[in-house]
Structure 1
Amino acid sequence: MSRNNESLTVAEAAASNNQIISQTVGVPDTPAAWQDLEADVPMLRSRTEAVAFAECVVVELRHEPVAARFQSAPDFRTEWILSRTEHLSVTTSEPFVRVRIDRRQGMDIEPCSRAEARNGLCTVLTQSELGRVDVQPLAVLSIVDN
């Protein structure tokens, strides 16, 4: 990755590892179900509401080329991005992939099952660390390379 403080798309960041996004989408002209999927962390709600939110996210990940993104506070640097495996050229039998981004250590791509994806979202939504979870089109997700 370059060191020019530029914003890289996930596809560009993954390209150096030969793992690229194979399908992209822009923000739709008409409202989409996933556009309202956003939650602050921790969710000051019941575990049931966190599970319901996570389930909605996983459903949208299965139907659209979008990704769930967790960003930690206070600087909201990206911690990880969860997407369908089919949208990245990752050879695995698992249906989802988690892209972990660390500014010091780079990027790591880890396949995961539907249950692991759902449980990971529930954990983030109910843990004490501050942050945000939202759903964005893969085409517009980016990381800032410092």
Structure 2
Amino acid sequence: MSVTDTPESAAQHDSETALGSAPALRSPTKVVSFVEQVLVELHHEALAARYVTDIGQEGGKTIWCRVKHTQLDVDAEYVQIRDDPRVGVGVEPCSQATVRERLCQCLDHDRSGHVDVRPLTGIQLSED
């Protein structure tokens, strides 16, 4: 399995992003506010929150989305999919609380990472 952006989503990224990246000044209050906005969007639309560790390189990606908007057969409300070129892809069922916690951790601890929210149709989940 791999997680990739479709050519259309890469070309239209700026116009299709539902929420931009988290605030540059990552105070705990701003991080929590941003993550809550992300969770509202994920709950109502077929969107994925995407976290990329090395922007512009072949770095790792993690996405969180609601299972009902995927073809995955997982018994959970949300799923976390990690795609790391070094170790491959891992799929983990999770709850909304776990998504909240992990997004906050990413934004609190990794200043080089980037989070955005985009239509799930722009992200392909494919078997390799």
Task: Answer whether TM exceeds 0.5 for this pair.
Answer: yes
What amino acid maps onto 1:100 in structure 2?
R
- Counting only pairs closer than 5 Å after superposition, residues 1-146 of structure 1 correspond to structure 2 as 8=4, 35-39=18-22, 43-74=24-55, 75=57, 77-88=59-70, 89-92=72-75, 94-142=76-124
Q: Considering only aligned residues, what root-mean-square deviation do their CA atoms show, in Å? A: 2.9
* Poorly superposed stretches of 4+, deviation over 2 Å: 7-10, 73-79, 88-91
Which SS does the other structure have where 1:134 is aligned?
A: strand
- Could you tell me the percent identity over the aligned residues? 36
TM-score, normalised by the number of residues in structure 1 = 0.67
Unaligned runs of 5+ in 1: 11-26
The answer to whether the 8 A contact 2:79-2:91 is kept is yes
What amino acid maps onto 1:66 in structure 2?
L
Which SS does the other structure have where 1:57 is aligned?
A: helix
- The Cα shift of 1:9 comes to 5.2
Q: Give the Cα–Cα distance (whole angstroms) in 2 for the partners of residues 9 and 36 of structure 1.
A: 17
Q: Give the Cα–Cα distance (whole angstroms) in 2 for the partners of residues 127 and 86 of structure 1.
A: 30
The answer to whether the 8 A contact 1:70-1:79 is kept is yes
The count of residues paired between Structure 1 and Structure 2 equals 116
Q: Give the Cα–Cα distance (whole angstroms) in 2 for the partners of residues 53 and 8 of structure 1.
A: 24
Unaligned runs of 5+ in 2: 7-11
